Amino acid sequence: MRVRHILVGRLNTGPRNAFRLSMEPHRSLLTFPHSPVIRPARQRPDDEKFGSLNLSMEVSIRADARRLFHALTAPEYVELWLSIPGQHTDCWTVGARNDQEFAIEHFCGGRRFVGISGRYAVCRRRNVMFTWRVEGGVCVPETQVDIRLRGDFERTTLRLRHTGFVSRHDFAWHHALWNLSIGRLAALYGSPEPLQSSVQSARRRA
């Protein structure tokens, strides 16, 4: 089945200088603290019945694997395509990387709305695996992301699997995030209809 997604809004990376100045007075995820404060995920009465929720999607993008690998791992590129659900025109994203760790901060109206951080377990051209946790306006405990790139030259198939959600709310938020983000990534390379298939699975742990 072919799923077509329409991107609404415009790309806006925002005033980067304003963020640079704000790094001094407040403790930022981009400073890579050794013991980050992670708030517990929001609990709902019926969350425990569903076990672990996993999200998978497959996308064909008009770019070679080498270019996509850099777009997925270089902070200056991640800032361009990562799309936080509900963002407005006065929002912007800033990313940083320190060896195997990465951090992303999203600002709206001059205030930090959400921070995402993680650590790479595998970082190769055709396979990127990393932990992922969210804090701030949305709080999600650590989950795992596995991205595989298949293909050469003109087109590459990107397969993404995000596992370990314990809340349906967290799963739904990331479903929106990845559909918006991968759609924007594909659009940057001129792929007007990038999503060939999108599968969400809810699997109960044995």
Q: Map out the domains of the chain with their CATH numbers.
A: 49-202 (3.30.530.20)
Query: Percentage of residues in the chain with pLDDT exceeding 90?
Result: 59
Are the beta carbons of 93 and 112 closer than 8 angstroms?
A: no
**How does pLDDT run across 69-116, given as a tens digit for each residue?**
999 999 999 999 999 998 677 899 999 999 899 999 999 988 999 999
For residue 154, the 8-state DSSP code is T
Residue 116 CB coordination number (10 Å):
23
Looking at the predicted structure, is the pLDDT value of residue 203 above 70?
no
- Do the strands 195-202 and 127-136 form a parallel or antiparallel pair, or are they unpaired? unpaired
Distance (Å, rounded) from C-alpha 133 to C-alpha 143?
6
Token look-up 């594909």 returns: 186
pTM of the model: 0.72
**How does pLDDT run across 41-78, given as a tens digit for each residue?**
344 444 444 457 899 999 999 999 999 999 999 999 99
Are the beta carbons of 93 and 105 closer than 8 angstroms?
A: yes
Buried b (16+ CB within 10 A) or exposed e, 145-167: bbbebebeeeebebebbbbbbbb
Distance (Å, rounded) from C-alpha 145 to C-alpha 8?
26
Specify the DSSP element, H or E, that contains 130: strand 127-136
Task: For the chain, report the end-to-end CA distance as a whole number of angstroms.
Answer: 30
